[in-house]
Chain A
């Protein structure tokens, strides 16, 4: 009995320690951001590395999701004679849910892992220690520009994902199946609210950007400085960031879209 309580206590303390460590790291990262913003060229280079270079996978996935969504929805809707509202359904699914979530999952896999591996290997090669010894804070020189770049890139990538997805749905529904183009666009326009639907989608993707980039940087910075340590770090980035995004998606959806 005593040992069970003992174990519980230890686990609780360990949980608190991990939470505290993350919180401290996050605050230090925030504190390092102004210094990084004073040197915009560092941030721009990172936006290129983690934003622009993720474009191919994000856009091609968006297109594929748009194709599939249009096909699936068409056969479901046509049974009830509602094929015209296809554009609306596709748009809402993409801007509210699939755009932010799928982009975040792809981002965690594409940019998150590369961030973790890069930072982890810089640590293993003592590059971060060398910087520290030169009286240069690695958090403001290395981590903060990447963090800001992640926050900026994710919403833009998610919007592009949704836009390309809608184009994909247009190709399948209008050009291939023959849904009326006027109805496709006009029902979409009247049914989508810029602030409520698109705006909330952008807010979601901003939060997901924060989760993915923070997890990736933390796992890289705290990775054990060995090949196994970096490998575990990249794995944990994908697992923790993906789960974090899915849990947070539920919370945000509940807050944003439960009123009719």
Chain B
């Protein structure tokens, strides 16, 4: 896998994970994220995409396998190591996760104020630059309740890049956005990745938007396994039925339309002829 990417920044190696000993969410998955690239993780709802991001962030310990960040194994129990690692990454949460008691400006300034000793003029300049990058410099003084969902996502993006992280993780950046906001978000992800030289991991079920901006993509199945991976054009041309079903959005196929159930006749009390 490494040869596909060149320099690997994050390596997920044979990872198995389930919450509190419950259902296995990720079942022996291996992925590699190339430095400076935009890599997408695609998959249906509940297939463990977001969980994977959280494992990279060290929120939960993996059940088996390991995740390496620049060849350093992430240990979710070592808070000191984790906090050092997390300063190098920015994460965009699905609905922004903005601090609702602060303004747009204060939200972006938050990580700067917490982690640096910069004076207020410097913080102001950086915040306005970041907001300008996402096109919201004029909205700096608005409260979070006053901005739309698409704007909130962009403010969260400005906050995620406030400290110029080496790795940016996007959790469903397109979910619930109108078409304009969606392409704005997609363009921003690509532009920010290229201008800052950061590495981006993008989790989504939006095939078209992802394929338009990513360098490489993984497709996860609902059983928490990697079904396929490759460049967008390779996946688009794939003959694998599961890949085709997902990419074309077919209702039935290897991924069944019906949730597993008793036979129809038994549930309705009719005898099969």
A binding-site residues for B, Cβ under 8 Å: 122, 125-127, 129-130, 132-137, 141
Contacts and interface: CB of A to CB of B under 8 A. Distances in A.
A258 B84 CA distance: 55
Contacts, number: 43
Interface in B69-104: 82-84, 86-87, 89, 91, 93-95, 97-100
B35 to A, nearest CB: 20
B114 A141 contact: yes
B262 interface: no
Given A127-B98, A133-B91, A135-B83, 6 more contacts: A122-B99, A127-B100, A129-B97, A135-B82, A135-B84, A137-B83
Contact of A132 (B59, B84, B89, B115): B59
Nearest to B115: A135
Contact of A125 (B82, B89, B95): B95
Contacts of B232: none
A130 B157 CA distance: 12
Given A125-B100, A127-B99, A127-B100, A136 B93 contact: no
B34 interface: no
Contacts of A129: 59, 93, 97
Contact of A136 (B82, B94, B111): B111
Nearest to A125: B97
A127 B98 CA distance: 6
Contacts of A136: 111, 114-115
Interface string B108-124: 00110011000000000
Interface residues on B, range: 20 to 34
B86 A130 contact: no
A245 B86 CA distance: 40
B57 interface: yes
7 contacts: A125-B97, A127-B97, A133-B59, A134-B111, A135-B86, A135-B87, A137-B83
A133 B95 contact: no
A129 B96 CA distance: 11
Nearest to A132: B59
A175 to B, nearest CB: 45
A211 B75 CA distance: 34
A130 B111 CA distance: 11
A24 to B, nearest CB: 14
A126 B93 contact: yes
Given A133-B57, A135-B87, A126 B95 contact: yes
Contact of B97 (A126, A137, A141): A126
A127 B97 CA distance: 5
Nearest to A128: B97
Given A125-B95, A126-B93, A134 B114 contact: yes
Given A135-B83, A135-B86, A130 B97 contact: yes
Interface string B16-39: 000000000000000000000000
A137 B83 CA distance: 9
A134 B93 contact: no
Contacts of A127: 97-100
A126 B160 CA distance: 14
A46 B115 CA distance: 22
Contacts of A126: 93-95, 97
A130 B100 contact: no
A29 B207 CA distance: 44
B211 to A, nearest CB: 27
Contacts of B82: 135
A132 B111 CA distance: 11
Nearest to B91: A133
B254 to A, nearest CB: 32
A97 to B, nearest CB: 37
Given A135-B115, A136-B114, A130 B93 contact: yes
A136 B116 CA distance: 12
Contacts of A137: 83
A99 to B, nearest CB: 32
A137 B89 CA distance: 16
Nearest to B85: A135
A133 B98 CA distance: 13
A132 B87 CA distance: 10
A129 B89 CA distance: 14
A136 B87 CA distance: 9
Nearest to B110: A134
Most chain B beta-carbon contacts within 10 A, residue among A127, A133, A137, A141? A133
Contacts of B97: 125-127, 129-130
Contacts of B93: 126, 129-130
A134 B114 CA distance: 9
